[in-house]
């Protein structure tokens, strides 16, 4: 059964910047899906809040000294797997729809940034890239407070706490950044599989952590998944499962820019934005981060 999708969508960074699909290099893919959140609810409202906040962004990026949006062309896709307004979307439907959509966008040569929505979505995004590039391995670089490596949680293998376990089962290498909350099952899997993890405390204390993290990426091609709780909650408090600590703003940007400079980034996602009432800090910061990802890709690809 096809998943019903919303038609209306705010364009990323504003209508005057929106580019038609055929000529755009970047596709923003909103996935307002929420089914397994376990603490604060509301991440299904994250994509719309981020898109609305993006209308307040400046076009000019002072770090890159350019108006990135006019150089690359940005097209905002209609939302998929939309659970707002009480719509029922099963995990199987969400993953299938996400996989098929991402595969099509990637096959059309788009640099996809998926915005969610709960982190379980990432398994579908990654599966879409695997189908689009079956003979080209890539590493999944994860910025997150949590390991997300449980085999199942609350009776579901597609819980947001299990998403990186599903990625590992795809046979893809992973590198985890900023982790500071795991269970014993996850700790044992990390040791058993020798998964490179750069703990939150290392990020805070080791000035050389970025060099070591870059060296841990074992493939030229990279997919970046960002759970916003990986960033310090004083910067983005509007997440489902906040944890103290996390990456500072400029530490996060330095790491991401190095990833784009040293590797071929095939796509990204930004997940778990759960907007707070009477505050726009979280969605505006998430929108700014999205624009930085576009800028780093434009810079690395000489667009």
pLDDT in tens, 85-143: 888 899 999 999 999 999 999 999 999 999 999 999 999 999 999 999 999 999 999 99
> Quick check: is 19 in a domain?
no
Closest CA to 256 of 235, 270, 275, 245: 270
Q: Residue 44: pLDDT above 90?
A: yes
Residue 257 has φ and ψ, to the nearest 5°, of -60, -40
Domain coverage including residue 66: 26-301
Report the alpha-carbon distance of residue 303 to residue 297 in Å, rounded.
8
Bridge partners, residue 265, by sequence: 222
Classify 209 as helix, strand or coil. Answer: helix
Question: Rounded mean pLDDT of 254-268?
Answer: 98
> Quick check: is 13 in a domain?
no
> Quick check: is 4 in a domain?
no
Helices (H), the chain: 46-54, 68-72, 91-107, 121-132, 163-169, 184-193, 200-205, 209-215, 249-262, 281-301
> Quick check: is 157 in a domain?
yes
In our burial notation (b when 16+ CB lie closer than 10 A, e otherwise), range 126-163 reads bbbbbebeeeeebbbbbbbbbbbbbeebeeeebbbbbb
How much is the pTM?
0.95
> Quick check: is 16 in a domain?
no
Q: What percent of the chain has pLDDT over 90?
A: 93
> Quick check: is 18 in a domain?
no
Residue 207 has φ and ψ, to the nearest 5°, of -65, -15
> Quick check: is 236 in a domain?
yes
Asked whether 167 and 174 are in contact (CB, 8 A), the reply is: yes
Q: Residue 45: pLDDT above 50?
A: yes
Q: Identify the band that residue 163 occupies on the pLDDT scale cut at 50, 70 and 90.
A: very high
Q: Mind listing the pLDDT tens digit for each residue in 9-37?
A: 799 999 999 999 999 999 999 999 999 99
Q: Mind listing the pLDDT tens digit for each residue in 205-239?
A: 999 999 999 999 999 999 999 999 999 999 999 99
Read off the DSSP letter of residue 85. G
Please give the C-alpha separations between residue 58 and each of 8, 65, 73, 110, in angstroms, as whole numbers.
24, 12, 16, 23
pLDDT confidence of residue 293? 98
Read off the DSSP letter of residue 270. E
Bridge partners, residue 227, by sequence: 271
Into how many domains does the chain fold? 1
The chain-wide mean pLDDT, for the chain, equals 95
Distance of CA 289 to the CA centre of its chain: 10
Q: What percent of the chain has pLDDT over 70?
A: 97
Calculated CA dihedral for residues 48, 82, 127, 138, nearest 10 degrees: 10
Kindly report the length of the chain.
303
Q: Residue 1: pLDDT above 60?
A: no
Q: What's the CATH code of the domain at 222?
A: 3.40.800.10
């Amino acid at each position: 059964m096809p998943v019903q999708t919303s038609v209306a969508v705010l364009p990323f960074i504003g209508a005057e910047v929106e580019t038609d699909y055929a000529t755009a290099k970047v596709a923003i893919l909103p996935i307002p899906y929420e089914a397994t959140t376990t603490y604060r609810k509301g991440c299904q409202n994250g994509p719309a809040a981020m898109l609305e906040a993006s209308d307040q962004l400046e076009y000019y990026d002072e770090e890159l000294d350019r108006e990135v949006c006019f150089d690359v062309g940005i097209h905002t896709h209609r939302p998929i797997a939309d659970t707002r307004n009480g719509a029922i979307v099963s995990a199987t439907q969400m993953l299938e729809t996400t996989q098929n959509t991402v595969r099509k966008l990637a096959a059309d040569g788009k640099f996809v940034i998926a915005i969610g929505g709960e982190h379980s979505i990432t398994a579908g995004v990654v599966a879409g890239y695997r189908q689009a590039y079956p003979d080209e391995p890539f590493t999944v670089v994860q910025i997150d407070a949590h390991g997300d490596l449980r085999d199942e949680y609350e009776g579901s293998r597609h819980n947001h706490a299990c998403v990186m376990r599903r990625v590992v089962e795809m046979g893809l290498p992973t590198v985890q950044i900023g982790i500071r909350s795991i269970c014993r099952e996850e700790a044992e899997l990390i040791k058993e599989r020798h998964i490179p993890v750069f703990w939150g405390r290392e990020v805070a204390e080791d000035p050389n952590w970025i060099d070591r993290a870059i060296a841990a990426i074992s493939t030229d091609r990279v997919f970046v998944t960002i759970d916003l709780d990986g960033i310090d909650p004083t910067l983005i408090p509007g997440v489902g499962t906040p944890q103290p600590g996390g990456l500072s703003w400029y530490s996060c940007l330095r790491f991401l820019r190095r990833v784009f400079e040293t590797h071929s980034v095939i796509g990204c996602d930004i997940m778990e934005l759960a907007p707070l009432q009477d505050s726009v800090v979280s969605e505006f910061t998430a929108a700014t981060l999205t624009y930085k990802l576009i800028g780093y890709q434009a810079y690395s690809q000489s667009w």
